[in-house]
Each structure stands twice: as structure tokens, then as C-alpha cells.
A and B are shown apart, each in its own frame.
Chain A
Amino acid sequence: MTRRVYITGTGIISAIGNSVEQVEKSLLSERSGIGKITLFPTIHQDRLPLAEVKLSNTELLDKIGKKENNNLTRTALLGMIAAREAIDDAGILKLNECPTGLISATTVGGMDRSEVFYEAYIQNPSRGRLRDVVNHDCGDSTDRIATFLGIRDFVTTVSTACSSSANSLILGAKLIKAGILDRVIAGGTDAATLFTLNGFNTLMILDKNGCRPFDENRAGLTIGEGAAFLVLESDELVYKRKARIHAELSGYGNANDAYHQTASSPEGTGAILAIQQALASGNLRPADIDYINVHGTGTLNNDLSEGVALETIFGLNMPPFSSTKSYTGHTLGAAGAIEAIISILTMKNRCLFPNLNWTTPMKELSIRPVTGIIESYEVNHVLSNSFGFGGNNSALIISKPIDLIT
């Protein structure tokens, strides 16, 4: 268990950019990706915002150099683009030079096509194009990405609601630490769908003004879409191939709130346990954390519960924090991986990105998010939280490589 897990490559596609570079620019210029719904017709068109990837499926296909759609779902397409970018970024020439795995995460899988199928199927069970439903299951997008990249040693998919891709990173780190794999491409992908939009709408947790995490007047989250993958490699492999290191995945924890199927406990029990585990596994104290990329969905319940958990752990020494969901929307199965990469970007830029749309402090909390860019800020350790339905709470700690810590 002494192996270290380094992050050597990153790839993102999201509402604030189709590459890590574009995402970085948007973050630095405080440009949110939340806007009008254009992807599909819906009765919520003018009422609810969405954080869409600004490319059609044809344009996404073009980006991966494919002409034939071959039944690819939007979820698969987004994942292929982000995973490819991560591998290129890591400077990997021979992917299978060592035992390599792909761990993806998704909450809706091929739902973007199933919705089209069901529209016809529901009228008549012998109708609906089968090619629209054959890729419904969550494993499909992962298998497509694996085939596209040429990964066979270990391929699986995690689905634990909104903590899914934080959990794929946790599994990836465990496999490397245990010496089972040397390299894992881990992350997640989710396309925006009518299903998720309407699902969250029935829970009355969508803010028609766009999400305002940790604001007293917050009224819910904003659905986003996207994908993000990180290349995780063992320390031996990194030294052997003289790879550039972005960061270390130094700590992680997963715990269950066991309070309610969708609501978080008022004390933030699961969140506290996950964060404590992450700190312990990284041999870190709360005081070592320089910045927290919070889960911060913007729902009344999450932000209060998460805020209470953070106050419990950090007390008066609360590090600066922000929810970058105000930029990307809540990308569900991709959120944990997207936010892990944003955490790396804070280190690289020595800069904290703000929690957009925040004006009023929450009555119940004494902590307040970062509301403008903070420059020349040295970040050694970032805590990134991801919490999901079913009380699934995960925390990651992303650190500068140990010899660079100041």
C-alpha cells in the first residue's frame, strides 16, 4: 500500500469548453456555461436553464474523426472525446505497455437515445428503432470508449448517482495501489436528457435562475452535461516513462449517509465520514487543506448539510471554498471527475475560481464561498466533495506532487 497514484493526464468536455484549455480560460474569465436549452424540445425551454456542451452529435463525431454514427449515444461521444484528450495530454504513446484499465461512470447511460425510442415504442410496442435502444445500459458508453481507446485489461462502470465519477477515481486509485494495474483511465460521462431534467424538476430542485450554491436565496441546481477523464499512474510507471505529473490523488473516502434516499442528513454525517477517511488515507490534517471544491449543488438541502459538515471538520480554520457547478452546471456522473480536474487547475494557475452568482450569506452558516478570482494563491492540497442520491458521499484529496509542496 505504499504505491503513490499520480495524475498525468486530464481531459474535459463541458458547457464551459471542449478541452481542458478552454475550460481553464472560461474559469479564469468567470464565464459560466449555463444558458438556454437548445438540445431538445421541452416544455421547460423558456423556464429552466441548462449547461449544455455547445456541440451537436455530428460535431462531436467529427471531433473524434468518425463519419458514421454507428449508434453512438451522446454519453459515449462525450466520454470518447474527454478520454482521448486525457491520454494525449499524458503523452502516452503505447497505452497497453503496462496493465491498463478504463473505469467510467454514468447515471443515465444511453438515455438520450432511449427517449427517442420510447416515444415511438409507447404508441406501439413493435415500433421504435432498435438501434436507438440497444445502447441504453450504462455499460455501453464505457465499452465504446474502451474499444475506441483499445483498452482490454480491466473495464468497468460505476453508477452511484452524483458521486459516480469520484468513485471511479477511487476504484482506479485502489487498483493501482494494490498493484493490480499500473495505469487507469478513470472518470465519467453524462449527456443532458429530458429524463434527468424532468426527474430533478419533479423534485422541485431546479433553480430557474441558474444555480446559486451556498447563497441564502438559492433555489436548486442546474443540470449540466459533459465528461472528464484522468490518467492515473503508479509512481514506478511515472518515473520509468519520465511522465509529467499534474498532481497526486493522495486521499479518498466513501461513506454512506444512511439518512434518506434523496435528502442529506442535517448533521452531514456521511459527508463528515467521507472527508475524515480521505484525510486519514492521505495522512493529512484538516489544516493541510488549502481549498475545497465543494459539491455545492445549490439545493437548499445539500448546501446546508455540506456546510454543516465542513464547519464540523474545519471549525474556525475553514479554507477558502467554492462550487464550480455555477460554471458547469451539475454534470451528475461526470461531476466528480470534472471537479477533480478543476482542482488541478487551481494548483497550476495558483488561483482559486469563484462560486458565481453568490450574493447573500446563508443564515445557518458562518462560512462564505470565494466570490471572485483569488490570484497568487499557493494550493498544495485540495479537497473535492461529491455527494449522491442514496446518501453516497465521496471525498477526494488532490495534492501537488510531494517534492513540489511548498
Chain B
Amino acid sequence: MPPIPVYINGLGIISPQKTYEPATFLDEVIPVVSNQLRCQEPVYKDYISGDLVRRMSRLIKMGIASSRICLQDAGCVMPDAIITGTGLGCIEDTEKFLSAMINNKEEFLTPTPFIQSTHNTVGAQIALLLKCHHYNFTYVHRGHSFESALFDASLQLDTTDAKNILVGGLDELTANLFQITKRLGHWKTKPVNNLQLLNTKTRGSIAGEGSAFFLLSNMQTDRSYAKLSGLSMLLKPSTPDEFFLKVTGLLEKNDLKLENIDLILLGLNGDEKMDRVYDDLISAAAGMSDMAYFKHLSGEYQTASAFGLWLASRVLKSQRIPEVIRLSGSFNRPVKNILLYNHYRNLNHSLMLLSKLN
């Protein structure tokens, strides 16, 4: 990440929790007994005009609404760039077109699902509705899709005149996607209570989805949530040393040591094998940092780290750690620095360092 301060000045998120109302912060988390979590969605006509809503597929609606909540939260009318990250894009549209093509033997097809299946649809629709002619990119790299978008945003802030950039991470869960990835062994075979996810001690996680947008800026405002002071992406580290080199590199650039990290937010997802990956960091920071986790609230998906970033931003600004995310530690100190560590299928690992603003 370029050596410039990047401030998070606005948030907008639709997730399996009731997060679309910025006034609340995980105040009512209701347990779900399932192996998949679907978003709690707002009434879309509050955010998008009725004519448009009808034509949009679900992820487009989630993306537009959450980006609007974010811009409003930041008090930003026109961002200087729109950058999205998505693992699979509007997969519901892709499935729809693919199924129709096979079922109807390539005849009687309608273009809408094909058009919407294009991975940059949500970023493009946001630009279209805002009439935003600026830089518009979409990254589609598995568990580094959202991280790539964040990285590019910091690069744009550093090397161009851009001051406010809208960055989003979004993916949707469909019945077919769930079925296929279930066959691939990604999910628990039986329903579980999501609030007991880490007690299941079995393979597989719970599937999830969400759309989270952030307004990133090189200027702090009175609405700022936090400073994103470091971002590191790494492919499956071959040794713990390689991983810790990245962690210390990230911390040293900010004159920090692991003992200065007040809270470590982990992407634990309840899959007993995948979760072992976090053990090294957990033991290294034991007794020094408090630990928390979030995928029992978001479910697992390629851009789930965006939920983690939202959570960390809220914690730093409110100085409140919701009981429901607590993993270990005393939780009786101010939270100045948060380290977010997530991995997607032990393939794409990412580290984000966030700091409290004065």
C-alpha cells in the first residue's frame, strides 16, 4: 500500500445482520440455525426509484443501496472514482442466462441477464445513477477481490487528484451457488446455530453474502471512522515465517509492534481445518491483544473481509466492541489499533491495519 494516510469517511453495508441502518450497531443479533446466511435487505424503493428497481437483480439492488447509504453517511455527492471487488459478480444473472441457454437450446433468450452478468455491472450502475464519469474499475480475484479494490483506491488517492473514492466489496448467495459449493465441501452438512459456529468442530463453514461500501479519502473529516494504515495481500504463505514477515512489515511501517494491537479481528469461519491457519497469530498475540471474529454474522464468501473492515471501522469510532464478536481477552482497554486478518480457503490471505483517529 502506498505510504499515504487513507481515511474511512463513510460506510454503507447490507449483510445478513440488520446493518443497513447506520444508527444501530449489531444491537439485535438473532441466532439463525442453518448452514447459510442471507442478507437482511432494506425496502429498496427507499434508495432506488421504482422503475429501476424492478429491472435490477438482487446484487445490483444491494450494491446500489449500500453505496447510497455510504455516500450519504460520508456526505459525499460525487466520488472521484468507483472501485468494486467481487468474487463472482451477479452470479444469479449468470446462472439465469446459462440455464435458459441450455434449457431452450440457445433459442428465445433475453439479453438482460447476460448484460447484468458482466462483473462490472454494479460499479457501472452506480456510476450511471450518479452520472459519475470518473475512474471506474472492478476486481475479480477470489479472496483478494475487495483487497485489490482497496489497494487501487489507495494508489489513486496517492497518485492522482482524487480525494474521495467509493470502494465496495460484494457477492451474493444463490440456491445454485450454495448447492454447488456444498458439493465441493465448503459448508457444514447440517444446520448449525451461527452464534455457536466456533463450537461445531467439524469441516465446512456457513455460506454468506453481502455488499459493503466505504468512502475512502486522503482527508480526515468530522465524520471519519478510522485510518486504514496498512493493507497486505499474500498468497497462501508457505511457512509461518513468511506470514509473520508480512505482519511485522505492516506493523513496523507504522511504528507498531504486535503488543500495540488492541484487537485482532479474525476471519474464523468454523471450518476446523481452515481455522487452524489462524492459530499461529492467535498464539503469537496471546496475552497481548484481545481477539474477535465475525463470519458467524456474515457467513463465508469471497469478499467477506469487507464485512470485517466495516466492523473494525465501527469499533474504532464508537469504542464499543459488540459482545457477539468477542473471542478472547479482557476487553477493558481503549481500542487504538485493530489488525484484521482474513483468509479465503487458505489461498488468499489479507491483513489490514486500522487505527483510531484523534
Contact = CB atoms under 8 A, between A and B. Distances in A.
Partners in one complex: yes
Interface of A: 1, 42-44, 106-107, 109, 114-115, 118-119, 121-122, 125-126, 130, 133-134, 136-140, 142-143, 146, 152, 154-161, 167, 171, 174-175, 177-178, 180, 194-195, 198-203, 254-262, 269-270, 273, 388-392
Nearest to A41: B106
A260 B128 CA distance: 7
Contacts of A390: 118, 120-121, 123-125, 127-128, 136
B46 interface: no
Which 5 A-B pairs have CB atoms at the shortest separation, nearest pair first? Answer: A390-B124, A199-B114, A139-B142, A159-B119, A138-B140
B245 interface: no
B235 A178 contact: no
Given A130-B184, A139-B87, A389-B124, A160 B159 contact: no
B260 interface: no
A270 B131 CA distance: 11
A255 B134 contact: yes
A195 B139 contact: no
Given A138-B141, A158-B139, A260-B128, A255 B159 contact: no
A159 B2 contact: no
Contact of B140 (A158, A259, A260, A261): A158
Among the interface residues A118, A137, A140, A273, which one has the most CB atoms of the partner chain B within 10 A? A137
A236 to B, nearest CB: 18
Contacts of B235: 146, 152, 155
Contacts of A255: 133-136
A43 B105 contact: yes
Interface residues of B, number: 61
A128 B10 CA distance: 44
Among the interface residues B133, B136, B145, which one has the most CB atoms of the partner chain A within 10 A? B136
Interface stretch (B94-102, B211-219, B264-272): B94-102
B103 interface: yes
B110 A256 contact: no
Interface string B2-19: 100000000000000000
Given A130-B183, A256-B136, A261 B98 contact: no
Contacts of A43: 105-107
A106 B88 CA distance: 12
A160 B120 contact: yes
Contacts of A273: 133
A282 B179 CA distance: 50
A44 B101 CA distance: 13
Contact of B101 (A106, A136, A195): A195
Contacts of A199: 97, 111, 114-115, 117
B61 interface: no
A118 B118 contact: no
A134 B183 contact: no
Contacts of B105: 43
A339 B159 CA distance: 26
B316 to A, nearest CB: 26
B284 interface: no
Contacts of A261: 115-116, 121, 124-125, 128
A201 B107 CA distance: 10
Contact of A125 (B88, B111, B140, B179): B179
B302 to A, nearest CB: 8
A194 B102 CA distance: 10
B342 to A, nearest CB: 16
Nearest to B179: A125
Contacts of A136: 88
B97 A122 contact: no
Contacts of B118: 107, 159, 161, 389-390
A259 B106 contact: no
B152 interface: yes
Contacts of A200: 114
B144 interface: yes
16 contacts: A44-B106, A115-B102, A125-B179, A155-B141, A155-B235, A156-B148, A157-B140, A195-B114, A198-B114, A203-B115, A255-B136, A256-B127, A259-B128, A389-B121, A389-B124, A390-B118
Given A171-B152, A389-B115, A114 B98 contact: yes
B94 to A, nearest CB: 8
A145 B297 CA distance: 34
B106 A392 contact: no
Contact of A256 (B109, B132, B176): B132
Contact of A126 (B123, B140, B183): B183
